[in-house]
Amino acid sequence: MCRCDRLFEENSINEPRINERIRVPEVRLVGPQGEQVGIVRVEDALRLAVEADLDLVEVAPKAKPPVAKLMDFGKWKYEAAVKARQSKKKQASTTLKEVRFRLKIDTHDYETKTGRAKKFLKSGDKVKAMIQFRGREQQRPELGIQLLEKFAEDVAEYGEVESAPRQDGRNMVMVVGPLRNRRDKKDAKKPSSPQRSGGGSRRDRAAAAAKAAREQQAKDREVKNLVGDAMPEELKKMGSSATSSSQAPKPGPKPRAPRKS
CATH code of residue 174: 3.30.110.10
Helical ranges in the chain per DSSP H: 3-14, 42-51, 73-92, 107-122, 141-154, 182-189, 202-230, 233-247
Same domain, residue pair 24 and 79: yes
- Is residue 107 located within the same domain as residue 69? no
Amino acid at 3: R
User: Does the reported pTM lie above 0.75?
Assistant: no
In a domain, 220, yes or no: no
- Tell how strand 159-168 and strand 126-132 pair up: unpaired
Q: What is the CATH number of the domain that holds 81?
A: 3.10.20.80
Q: In terms of domains, do 48 and 72 share one?
A: yes
Same domain, 83 and 102: no
pLDDT confidence of residue 31: 92
Both 139 and 165 in one domain: the answer is yes
Q: Residue 38: left (phi > 0), alpha (psi -120 to 50), or beta?
A: left
Same domain, 84 and 101: no
Q: Does residue 191 fall inside a structural domain?
A: no
| Separation of alpha carbons 27 and 44, rounded Å | 10
pLDDT value at residue 261 = 47
Predicted pLDDT at 91 = 63
119 in a structural domain: yes
Distance from C-alpha of 70 to C-alpha of 57, rounded to nearest angstrom: 6
The DSSP letter of residue 231 is: -
Q: Say whether both 176 and 115 belong to one domain.
A: yes
What is the domain count for the chain?
2
The answer to whether residues 56 and 44 touch, using CB atoms and an 8 Å cutoff, is no
Domain identity same for 83 and 134: no
Tell me whether residue 135 is in a domain: yes
Q: Is residue 2 part of a domain?
A: no
- The verdict on 170 and 123 lying in the same domain is yes
Question: pLDDT (tens digit, 0 to 9) for every residue of the chain, 261 residues total?
Answer: 444 444 444 445 578 899 989 999 999 999 998 899 899 999 999 999 999 999 999 999 999 999 999 999 999 899 989 988 887 776 656 678 999 999 889 999 999 999 999 999 998 889 999 998 988 888 888 999 999 999 999 999 999 999 899 988 889 999 999 987 554 444 455 554 444 444 455 667 667 777 777 777 777 776 556 545 544 555 445 444 544 444 555 555 555 555 554
- Determine the Cα–Cα distance for residues 46 and 7; give it in Å rounded to an integer: 27
Domain endpoint, select from 184, 211, 233: 184
Given this model, what pLDDT does residue 54 score? 93
* Within a domain: 253: no
The whole domain housing 26 covers: 19-88
Q: Among 55, 88, 121, identify where a domain stops.
A: 88
Specify the 3-state DSSP secondary structure of 260. Answer: coil
Q: Which of 184, 211, 240 is the last residue of a domain?
A: 184
